[in-house]
Amino acid sequence: MNLTSERKDQLIQACLYAQRLAYVPYSHFRVGAAVLAEDGQIYTGCNIENASFGATICAEHVAVVKAISTGNRKILALAVVTDADEYARPCGICRQVLSEFAADNFLTLALKPDASYVEKSLEDLLPDAFTPASLS
Ligand code: THU
């Protein structure tokens, strides 16, 4: 699917806004995410940490869970940003979660804090992935 530049801008603004809502009392590392779902809506996520560190949830995971729990089954695109001065790199668990629901031609906009970005496919993020098709 072809993302219009207007849609890309909306995803970027949504993930930058979500980053401000991060709950990060332990790492102080803010991550914001926004996914475009098959229903045409944008769902945002921020990282949510926990005193029991293993209970922390990543921003991308939160955004995907919001989209899927609203009835969506396909994610068309993701925008993600962190505090680090580099293009955001989703963690391994988030890449696996995304691979479960990624639509054909799924696109990630990996942002720097200044909102410049690079585009990555699912294959870029997770080559040779174990997906639902691997079970059939
Ligand atoms: N984090 C994310 O939200 N997404 C990622 O893809 C990488 C890591 C969060 C988890 C934790 O709150 C903080 O960044 C430091 O690892």
Q: Please tell me the predicted confidence (pLDDT) of residue 1.
A: 60
**Minimal-distance CA residue to ligand 1 atom 7:** 91
Q: Give alpha helix (H) positions in the chain.
A: 5-19, 59-68, 92-101, 122-125
**Per-residue pLDDT tens digits of the chain, which is 136 residues long:** 679 999 999 999 999 999 999 999 999 999 999 999 999 999 999 999 999 999 999 999 999 999 999 999 999 999 999 999 999 999 999 999 999 999 999 999 999 999 999 999 999 999 999 999 999 8
Number of Cβ atoms within 10 Å of the Cβ of 116:
10
Tell me which residue has its CA closest to atom 4 in ligand 1. Answer: 58
For the beta sheet containing 117-121, the strands, ordered from the edge strand earlier in sequence to the opposite edge, are 42-46, 31-37, 75-82, 102-111, 117-121
What pLDDT does residue 75 have?
A: 98
Atom 14 in ligand 1: which residue has the minimum CA distance? 29
Bridge-based pairing state of the strands 102-111 and 75-82: parallel
Among 23, 61, 64, 82, the mutation site with the greatest number of ligand 1 atoms within 8 A of its Cβ is 82
Cα–Cα distance between 25 and 80 in angstroms, integer? 20
Cβ-based neighbours of 128, under 8 Å, separated by 6 or more: none
Say what the pLDDT of residue 2 is: 79
